[in-house]
Structure 1
Amino acid sequence: MWQGTKDTVIRAARKKRGELKYDGKPVYIYEDYCPEVLDQRSEYKEVMRQLYALNLKPSLLYPARLFIRAEDGSRRRLASVKEAQQLLAAHQKH
């Protein structure tokens, strides 16, 4: 039950990003990850920055699953940082 409530709160907070306030002050809600998951997610930091720069709209789902949304709206899962780097290399050739 708690997991479902937590996910609902996180999703609602994302939709209200920048608008969520308490007593007139902004409120920020972040997911709390264990150190192992944080390590996995940190491996994607640089490649995600590069994917954003190419407007591929990356998203990192729990625990560390990388998806991109292309300009045509299609969504693709990249299985690893290495696969994301290969995609970036291919994009830079074009």
Structure 2
Amino acid sequence: MIRTIPAGGKLYLNGEYAGITPYKHRDTKIVGSTTDVRIEMEGYEVFYGYFSRNEKADVGAIIGGVFLLFPFIWTMKYKPERTYELKPISTDKQ
């Protein structure tokens, strides 16, 4: 789950529009894959970041890999939730 404070940000993943936050993200990328994040919302600075598929071990996939001998390319997962706090655009004129 990708959330923003405040909610309602336009979410772009790898340069493509994905939806409005909160957004339930799913993919089948392999270990070490990185996803670029851009979040836009009127009145707030554009947020740029990324997350990688190496944040949390998937014990079931690891055990399956040992016993079934399939590749270990899906043994890592994302954190179940991430929240990005958007910063208001400064109106100070210096």
Instruction: Give me the TM-score of the superposition, normalised by structure 1.
Output: 0.29
* More strand by percentage: 2
Higher share in helix: 1
More relative contact order in 1 or in 2 (CA 8 Å, sep 6+)? 2
